Copies of this chain bind each other. A is one copy, B any other.
Amino acid sequence: MKALIVEQVAGRNEMKPGEYPDPKAKEGEVLVKIEATALNRADLMQKEGKYPPPKGVTPILGLEMAGTVEKLGSKVKGVSVGDRVCGLLPGGGYAEYSTIRADHVLKIPETFSFEEAAAVPEVYLTAYQAAIWLGKLAKSETILIHAGASGVGTAAIQLVRELRKARIITTTGSGLKCELTASLGSDLCINYNDENFGLSIQDTFGENCVNVIIDFVGSPYWEKNMNVLAMDGRVVYLSFLGGTKVKEMNLSPILRKRLTIMGSTLRNRSDEYKSELVAAFKKDTETLFEKEKLKPIIDSVFDWKDVEAAHDRMKNNLNAGKIILNGM
């Protein structure tokens, strides 16, 4: 099959199309002809050699895909040849074909294109895991979603709005992005280039008012996060894009507010964990995609030949929502 392979070109890692062995569906797996895939920040890191794939996983980039089931492995239940499906992959999305466990598959609603479906798995499962599973956000609580206009951010806003009816605060880096998060249901949106989010939240909703934080930023936000958290508050870290070193960190809020601070990634979780997460997600979201209550925000769709331009768009933080690559 065709696949995009990372090669060194003039001292820079670039993706080039090449030939790669066809994957085969093992027991419990299905073979999918990929019609669209979506970019994730992990792809950029992996391309630079900074985020190697887990043991036993293909070196081909791509953590999610949408396509058509072409073959079934043995003992597959609930998925048929011809089904339009999307799903999370540990790697291998930038290719013509991929295998995936049948219990990791999400069926694509009829109203969704493959491009839209490719934007679903990573962001919605990550946001669901962070806000609902790990953050245990309850009704009438308040959630602070950093990078609110990102793929995971926009998915988190929608999920929280539909599943928890909690108060939603978002931070983003521009007025346009703030408009986007507000239109999705964010009650307060803070442009971090103009305002100190800690003070803005305190001024609007009072001190110690945030029950759950989803953070991608890390050290620059540590202290402000600690300050806005309520008693029994929870922080879920999904990445540390702003850095990992905190100077003069003060531990005392952890005890004084009985905080829980968690780090989580999805990619290197066990198959069983992912199956449980997918099952819980399906049960909770059921018809919400069909009814377009949950609708991925697509930033742009690129042809696979323009993969480097797509990567540059993400690298320069120009996207609001997901960047999609059409199938090879």
Interface residues, chain A, CB within 8 Å of chain B? 218-219, 222, 237-240, 244-265
Contact = CB atoms under 8 A, between A and B. Distances in A.
Contacts of A244: 250-252
A261 B264 contact: no
Contacts of A249: 245-247, 249
A100 to B, nearest CB: 23
A138 to B, nearest CB: 14
A254 to B, nearest CB: 4
Given A239-B255, A262-B260, A247 B250 contact: no
Contacts of A250: 244-246
A167 to B, nearest CB: 22
A248 B247 contact: yes
Nearest to A259: B263
A51 B246 CA distance: 28
A238 B254 CA distance: 10
**Residue of A245, A253, A254, A263 ringed by the most chain B CB atoms within 10 A:** A263
A237 B260 CA distance: 10
A245 B250 CA distance: 5
Given A244-B252, A245-B249, 13 more contacts: A219-B251, A240-B251, A245-B248, A245-B250, A245-B251, A246-B248, A246-B251, A249-B249, A254-B263, A258-B262, A258-B265, A260-B261, A260-B263
A238 to B, nearest CB: 8
- Can you list the 10 inter-chain pairs with the closest CB atoms, starting with the nearest? A254-B263, A255-B263, A249-B249, A244-B252, A244-B251, A246-B249, A261-B261, A260-B262, A258-B263, A237-B255
Contacts of A218: 251
Contacts of A246: 246, 248-251
A162 to B, nearest CB: 27
Contacts of A248: 245-247
A231 to B, nearest CB: 8
Given A245-B248, A260-B260, A237 B265 contact: no
Contacts of A251: 218-219, 222, 237, 240, 244-246
Nearest to A253: B263
A255 B239 CA distance: 7
A240 B252 contact: yes
Contacts of A264: 255, 258
A85 B239 CA distance: 50
Contacts of A259: 261-263
14 contacts: A237-B251, A238-B255, A245-B251, A247-B248, A247-B249, A249-B249, A254-B261, A254-B262, A257-B263, A258-B264, A259-B262, A260-B260, A260-B262, A261-B262
A257 B264 CA distance: 8
Nearest to A218: B251
